Structure formats: C-alpha cells, structure tokens
Structure 1
Amino acid sequence: MRIITGEYGGRKLKAVPGNNTRPTTDKVKESIFNIIGPYFDGGACLDLFAGSGGLAIEAVSRGMDKAVLIDQDPLAIKTIKENINVTKEPGKFDVYRNDANRAIDLLKGNKKFDLLFLDPPYAKQEIEKQIEKIIDSGLLNDEAIIICEVDKRTHLKEKIGAATAYRNEIYGASQIVMYEYVSNTEETNE
C-alpha cells in the first residue's frame, strides 16, 4: 500500500496486522480519487472506519486541509498513527479510538466535513443509518461527497436524506457507492 499522488505521493503505508481490517486496494483508491477529485482545494475529511488511514491520508495528500480518522480497533489506531508519521505533518490529522456511532455524537456541533468515507466491516454495516445520523447531526457541508465501500451484493438506497447516489462501481468483491449531499433539497427517504 502506498500514497498514490499529491504532496505525499509514493510514500509507503502499513496495513493493519491481522484479518480484522480489509484495506482499500491502491487500484480502488486511485479510481475513487479519479472520480471525485483528483485534487482538492482545501476542506475537511472524515474517515469513520479508518483502518490503516489510507483514504484520509490520500485525501490530505491531494489537497484536503484536515482529516479526522475514527476506528475502534487498537491495532488500527496504532497503524494510523504510524502512517500519519510518514506524512511528516501530523497536525493535519486528528485520530480517535471510538465506535463510529459514538464518534458521530461527539463530533456533532464541532466540525463539518466536505468528504466522508464509510468503509465498515461488511458484516457490521449500518451505512444508511449512519449517513442519516451524520446528516441529522449537521456534520456535512453543502455538496459534501460521501464514499461508501460495501460488499458487491449490498444494495444501498439511491437517496438517503439529502444525499443522492450519483455513481456506483464494482471492484472484485467490493462496491463503491458515491453520494452527494445537497443541504437545500427537500429531505425525504424513499
């Protein structure tokens, strides 16, 4: 695994030891950023199931100002911190060991994000509920992008609150579903 491009491009990242995390492959990561970016002019990123931290670190490498990384696995937190050290800019990253749902509650009223990554363990997915909770908590800036990585057999709603799916890609056993949050649309669930 590596940081693909941007300010930290080419630097190697560590994977979380063991089988509890499933890192996003470099190929999938590059495809995601080619679709949503590939570069950013500032902004803040939230990675709710950060694993090794690769997606959020890539986002900052490509121009995001700041990233918040959440994971509840102590080995993941250790790996994230080691990977952030590779950037030599630890001040751009906040790392918290916490459950995703509790983290949403703690972030409420403190931060707003332009980019959100949701890549939970496939067996423990609550993505639709978590997106609704994030929207209800006011954590997203207008036109924020939400990237969900799920099992390819998972079907996510096309509309979740004020977030609308605009792209769906299959990569092996994984599916990437991309949403855009637009705060001034009527919020209805279908």
Structure 2
Amino acid sequence: MRVIGGEYAKRTLKTLSSQLTRPTSDKVKESLFNSLGQYFDGGRALDLYGGSGALAIESVSRGMDKAIIVDKAYQAIKIIKENVAMTKEESKFEVLKMPDEAALKKLATDGYYFDYVFLDPPYAKQRIANVMAELVELNLLAEDAIIVAETDKDTEIGVGNSYCLIKEKKYGQTMIRIFRYEGVTES
C-alpha cells in the first residue's frame, strides 16, 4: 500500500497483518480521492477507524492542514505512528488510542470540528449511522462537511435528514458512500 497523490505520493505505508483490518486498496483510494476533487485547500480530517492511517495521510498529502487518526488497537496505533513518522510532518497529525465514542466526546470537548470524516469500521461492527448522528449531536462538523463511509456491499446506512448522499460506488465487495452534511434540520 502506498500514498497515491500529493506531497507524500509514492511513499510506502505499512499495514497490519491481521484479519481485524482491511486496508482500503490503492485503486479504491485513488478513485475516492478523485471523487473528492483530488486536492484540498486546507481544513481538518478525522479518520475514526485508522487501521494504518492511510486515508488521513492521503488527505494531508493532498492539502488538508491537519488530520486526527483514531484507533483502539495497540498494534494499529503502532503502525499509524510509523506511517505518520514517514511523512516527516508529525505536527500535522494527532493519533488517539481509544474507542470511537470516547474519541468523539474528547474531540468535542477539545473544540474540534472537521471538514472531512472517514468512516471505515471493521465490517463486523457497522455503526456508521450511529456515528454520523453523534457527529451532529456533538457539533463536530464544519458547514458542508463531507463524510466518506466505506462498508461491505450489502450494508445499508440510514443517516437521517442532516446528510445528503452525493455519491455511491461499488468496488467488488466494497461500497463507498459520500455524504454532505446539510446542517441540523427541524423535525
């Protein structure tokens, strides 16, 4: 696996040799970032299920100012830190070892908000709709924030009225959905 585009392009990323993670393939990652406009003009990204940190590193490589990478597994955190060190710009990243819910609460308490959120939880534990609701409840999203959800092809996501699905694409067994945050709507 490698960084596809931007400042860190072609640098190799380490991955976990485990059944608990399934790194986003280079092909899917390239297509995803092409869909997002390829390059960013600053902003903050959150990779809530970091694995190797590849999506966060790719986003900073393509112009995001900062990325927060969260994972609860010690081995994943070790790999993420090694991959972040490869960028030689560690100050552009923050790595948190904690479960998703605890991380979201901490980030809200610390006053963070995000322009891009990457949600790629292990397929066996799909909680994307719940996490998307928590992002809204905790005011963690910038205006028009983009949420990228990666699931298996059979998983449905019901996300409520705060989001608009702007793109959906299947890659073999993987489904990528891109949502735009539309703000809190009155019920």
TM-score bucket of the superposed structures, by smaller chain: over 0.9
Partner of 2:170: 170
Note the residue ranges of structure 2 that are not aligned, 5 or more in a row. Answer: none
CA distance in 2, matches of 1:148, 1:54: 15
Partner of 1:49: 49
1:186 is matched by which residue type in structure 2? T
CA distance in 1, matches of 2:79, 2:161: 34
Q: How large is the RMSD of aligned CA atoms in angstroms?
A: 1.1
> How far 1:37 moved relative to its partner?
2.0
> How far 1:187 moved relative to its partner?
5.0
> How far 1:17 moved relative to its partner?
2.4
CA distance in 2, matches of 1:52, 1:93: 13
Deviations 1:89-121 (A, max 9, x none): 000000000000111111114201000000001
Partner of 1:127: 128
> How far 1:171 moved relative to its partner?
0.5
CA distance in 1, matches of 2:71, 2:94: 12
Give the fraction of aligned pairs with identical amino acids, expressed as a percent.
47
Partner of 1:148: 149
**1:73 and 2:73 correspond:** yes
Mean CA deviation greater in 54-63 or 15-24? 15-24
CA distance in 2, matches of 1:69, 1:121: 15
CA distance in 2, matches of 1:99, 1:46: 14
Note the residue ranges of structure 1 that are not aligned, 5 or more in a row. Answer: none
Partner of 2:98: 98
**Residue-pair matches, total:** 186
Cα 1:62/1:187, change in 2 over 3 Å: farther
Partner of 1:136: 137
Partner of 1:112: 113
Q: Are the equivalent residues in 2 in contact too, given 1:168–1:176 (CA < 8 A)?
A: yes
